[in-house]
């Protein structure tokens, strides 16, 4: 029988003891758990980056996987710890909107506030709920505890608005850069399948001081450093440059506006 999988996604970095302490807590409670690192290099405090990463990485995992996400600027305050059930998987973390993309994609989901002291360490600190609340909760779930033991269902979990592009006239839309990846690819919020016409007809995508009109099939077909639009692996239109950092070339970051015009 496969071991229960617990994934970890945090902004803790890898030079401190935080991630190690969480892993120790999990393995003490659920020695059989298979801990899988997704990322510990999220930008500190960036709930929106974490929301995107969790939304893109977790759908590829098997049913029953338990995902622990700790990006938690409000630790120790009134924000609640929650357990989300969505798309057959479990998500544990703070109620700060970090699961918004997962929940929106799943359509329906259940959210419980984690209040059961048995799911927490005996002493809960004010500043490290990754170790004291989220890790032990995941481990108890992995050991076979029922989700309902976590606590009561809540209906008012924080759900971030995930902005779709807005149509500004008959042939034009305004969207936004959601994410810049390590290679400098700029992932926009234009879903490629909603704009299939750009595959066959002229278009212009304006970002920063550039106007792009080339849709590439892969990176390698373009000249070194050339900017182009491509359908990314997440299904969004991306702005890329072959073996170069598109975002640095354009001087734009997350949140930069993107204008699409179809001709």
178, 188 Cβ separation under 8 angstroms: yes
Q: Which is nearer to a second copy, 71 or 114 (CB)?
A: 71
**C-beta of 252: minimal distance to a second copy in Å?**
18
Residue 149: burial class (beta carbons within 10 Å; 0-12, 13-18, 19+): middle
Distance CA 257, CA 106 (A): 27
231 binds a second copy (CB under 8 A): yes
Query: 109: which 2 tokens?
Result: 């989901």
User: Quick one: which of 132, 212, 241, 247 contacts a second copy (CB under 8 A)?
Assistant: 132
Q: Is 27 in the site for a second copy (CB under 8 A)?
A: yes
Using rule CB under 8 A, residue 19 touches a second copy: yes
- Encoded one letter per residue, x for contact with a second copy by CB under 8 A and - for no contact, window 134-173 reads ----------------------------------------
Would the CA dihedral through 141, 147, 153, 157 be positive or negative? positive
Gap between the Cα atoms of 71 and 208, Å rounded: 30
Burial of 5 by CB count in 10 Å (0-12 exposed, 13-18 middle, 19+ buried)? middle
HSE-up (13 A, CA, CB side) for residue 35? 23
Question: What is the per-residue binding string for a second copy in 29-68, x denoting contact by CB under 8 A?
Answer: --xx--xxxxxxxxxxx------xx--xxxxxxx--x---
At closest approach, how far in Å is the CB of 126 from a second copy? 5
Binding-residue pattern over the window 190 to 209 for a second copy, x denoting contact by CB under 8 A:
--------------------
End-to-end CA distance of the chain: 56
Nearer to a second copy among residue 76 and residue 223 (C-beta):
76
Distance CA 41, CA 38 (A): 9
Sole binder of a second copy in the list 161, 170, 182, 201 (CB under 8 A): 182
Beta bridge partners of 257: 176
The residue count for binding a second copy (CB under 8 A) is 70
Structure tokens at 69: 């996400």
Helices (H), ranges, the chain: 18-29, 47-57, 100-106, 129, 135-142, 246-250
User: Considering only residues 126, 161, 170, 201, which one is a binding residue for a second copy as defined by CB under 8 A?
Assistant: 126
Q: Considering only the stretches 152-160, 203-211, 216-224, 255-263, report the one whose residues sit in contact with a second copy under the rule CB under 8 A.
A: 216-224
- Contact between 24 and a second copy by CB under 8 A: the answer reads yes
Give contact residues for a second copy (rule: CB under 8 A).
Answer: 2, 5, 7, 9, 11-25, 27-28, 31-32, 35-45, 52-53, 56-62, 65, 73-77, 79, 125-128, 131-132, 181-183, 217-221, 230-233, 238, 243
């Amino acid at each position: 029988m496969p071991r229960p999988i617990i994934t970890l996604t945090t902004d803790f970095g890898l030079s401190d003891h935080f991630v190690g302490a969480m892993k120790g807590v999990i393995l003490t409670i659920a020695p059989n758990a298979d801990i899988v690192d997704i990322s510990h290099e999220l930008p500190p405090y960036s709930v929106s980056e974490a929301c995107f990463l969790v939304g893109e990485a977790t759908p590829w995992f098997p049913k029953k996987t338990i995902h622990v996400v700790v990006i938690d600027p409000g630790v120790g305050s009134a924000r609640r710890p929650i357990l989300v059930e969505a798309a057959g998987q479990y998500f544990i973390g703070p109620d700060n909107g970090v699961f918004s993309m997962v929940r929106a994609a799943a359509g329906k989901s259940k959210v419980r506030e984690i209040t059961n002291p048995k799911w927490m360490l005996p002493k809960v600190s004010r500043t490290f709920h990754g170790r004291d609340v989220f890790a032990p909760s995941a481990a108890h779930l992995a050991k076979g505890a029922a989700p309902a033991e976590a606590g009561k269902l809540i209906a008012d979990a924080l759900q971030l608005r995930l902005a779709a592009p807005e149509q500004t006239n008959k042939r034009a839309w305004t969207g936004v850069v959601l994410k810049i990846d390590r290679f400098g690819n700029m992932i926009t919020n234009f879903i490629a399948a909603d704009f299939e016409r750009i595959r066959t007809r002229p278009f212009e995508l304006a970002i920063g001081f550039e106007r792009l009109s080339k849709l590439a099939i892969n990176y390698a077909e373009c000249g070194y450093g050339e900017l182009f639009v491509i359908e990314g692996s997440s299904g969004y239109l991306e702005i890329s440059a072959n073996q170069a950092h598109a975002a640095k070339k354009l001087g734009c970051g997350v949140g930069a506006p993107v204008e699409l015009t179809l001709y």
